[in-house]
Amino acid sequence: MPCRTTKELNELVQEAKKYTGKGKVADYIPALAKAHHEELSVAIFHDDGTCVSAGDVKQKLTLQSVSKVLTLALALMDYGEEAVFSKVGYEPTGDPFNSIVKLEFSPSKPLNPMINAGALAVTHMIKGKNEEERFERILTFIQQLAGNSAIGYSAEVAESEYRTSDLNRALCYFMKQHGVIDEDIEELLRVYTKQCAIEMDCLDLARIGCVLAMDGVEPRTNLRLIPASVARLCKTFMVTCGMYNASGEFAVRVGIPAKSGVSGGIMGSVPNRFGIGIFGPALDEKGNSIGGTKLLEIMSAKYNMSMF
Ligand code: DON
């Protein structure tokens, strides 16, 4: 049974909050360093359209790497699997999200679309006549998935990341040299940093997680927003690479498709049951929300969430 009461969910949040003190807010993107590390909020969006939440759920978070799974869906809808996976691979790396190491061993394409190199290659593929149109398409798609046309992006966070993106810039130049991408790198970085700065609350995140949980169908309207094959492919990457080099342990302890971001967001999809949106900005050493991961562990045991 999924959680149906706020009181119950609040208790689980209080339990998981004990771990936030051990984490650290991301500061390599200067604007993210302003977050309060003790915060933890969660929303669960069920397949019948009902929602339960706990914590300060009105707090907004930027998607950061959670956006990678959504741009992957859009690129797959634009071009199909064969074209997308000619530019990016299927395999987990076991390395940190911004590592350049494996690109040297497999220079023809980044190993998967969830690491920074792979996500940059995917954003490179997003259709549009200019950078504004490409970003607009990503934003509109995400608004549709969340059923919320008010979703926008934080210009402050986008700008802050763009100015300090030299590692991602390096990944792009490496891939340009090897023919993976062939566009103006600054333009690509502007689209990518805005995509990462798309801003929403946990409830929006849980709704998107629920669409993926339901294989691409929005449960309230019954509209298909993503083809089932694309939704399944995205969820597979969430299992194998969604929590970076902690994906193996997360699969053992929690056992659901999930995607994290350095702002402290985690989007979870419990297949055919519900979507989860979490915001807890204190991160562990691998860049995943420490309270959020703990909360999912507790929830998984209590609500029998593991698919394994
Ligand atoms: O490209 C970056 O470094 C960030 N915009 C996103 C990285 C991220 O969220 C990694 N997540 N844990």
The chain-wide mean pLDDT, for the chain, equals: 95
What percent of the chain is predicted at pLDDT more than 70? 99
User: What's the CA gap between 258 and 260, in Å, rounded?
Assistant: 7
**CATH superfamily name and code, 4-63+201-302:** DD-peptidase/beta-lactamase superfamily (3.40.710.10)
261 lines ligand 1 (CB under 6 A): yes
Residue 1 pLDDT > 70: no
Q: Give the ligand 1 atom nearest the CA of 97.
A: 10
Q: Hey, where are the domains in the chain? A: 4-63+201-302, 65-196
154 lines ligand 1 (CB under 6 A): no
**Residue 221: both structure tokens together:** 């309207």
**CATH superfamily name and code, 65-196:** DD-peptidase/beta-lactamase superfamily (3.40.710.10)
104-116 mean pLDDT: 89
Handedness of CA 284, 92, 144, 274 (dihedral sign): negative
164 lines ligand 1 (CB under 6 A): no
Q: Give the ligand 1 atom nearest the CA of 197.
A: 5
- pLDDT for position 2: 64
Nearest-CA residue for atom 11 of ligand 1: 261
260 lines ligand 1 (CB under 6 A): yes
**Which pTM does this prediction carry?**
0.97
Nearest-CA residue for atom 5 of ligand 1: 64
Model confidence over 234-274: pLDDT tens digits? Answer: 999 999 999 989 999 999 999 999 999 999 999 999 999 99
Q: Give the ligand 1 atom nearest the CA of 119.
A: 1
**Residue 124: both structure tokens together:** 């490179």
User: What's the CA gap between 242 and 251, in Å, rounded?
Assistant: 10
Distances (CA, A) of 101 to 10, 111, 127, 168, 264: 42, 11, 29, 13, 25
293 lines ligand 1 (CB under 6 A): no
Residue 117 pLDDT > 90: yes
